[in-house]
Amino acid sequence: MFKEPEKSPWGKVQYCDTLCPGVFLVSTASHGGTMVSKEVEAFLSPAAKKCGFRQNGFICFEEDAKEDVVLRELLDKKLWSVPDRIKDRAAFEENINNNLRKYNPDYWRSRQQGRATESAARPAPVRSAER
């Protein structure tokens, strides 16, 4: 359905892993990142989109400081899960969160505000009256 990219903003793609349809983790001889196809970018929050840059039909997120934005969005929306090869999944997610707080504080604040708004909008569970 989605063709893996052959070129990236960081050079010719040497390795490509599909995280979910239209979302590719790419490596080149010198660098890499995550590329999100324009056909599926709607799953990204506006704050996440601001962290990437557009090139050749993709929103691109550089591996050193921006890639965790995509991973967090995929995890939050249950479009991707931590690979089985990662033994301590909680530590893996906490590392993502720490990197986001450090390198993408505006995105992190937006995400946290959105989560608080979602929680506040959910109706409280109905409890039956005890007699």
Q: Helix crossing, 89-103 with 105-121: angle to 10°?
A: 120
Whether pLDDT at 82 is above 60: yes
User: Residue 127: its pLDDT value, please?
Assistant: 59
Which tokens is 78 given? Answer: 């249950």
What's the confidence (pLDDT) of residue 126? Answer: 59
pLDDT at 59 over 70: yes
- 103: amino acid identity, one letter: Y
Query: Residue 117: what pLDDT?
Result: 76
As a whole number of angstroms, the distance between CA 101 and CA 115 comes to: 15
Confidence of residue 74 (pLDDT cuts 50, 70, 90): very high
Reported confidence tier of residue 30, pLDDT bands at 50, 70, 90: very high
**pTM metric for this prediction:** 0.87
H or E segment and range at residue 36: strand 32-37
pLDDT at 123: 65
| Average pLDDT of the chain to the nearest whole number | 92
Model pLDDT, residue 131: 44
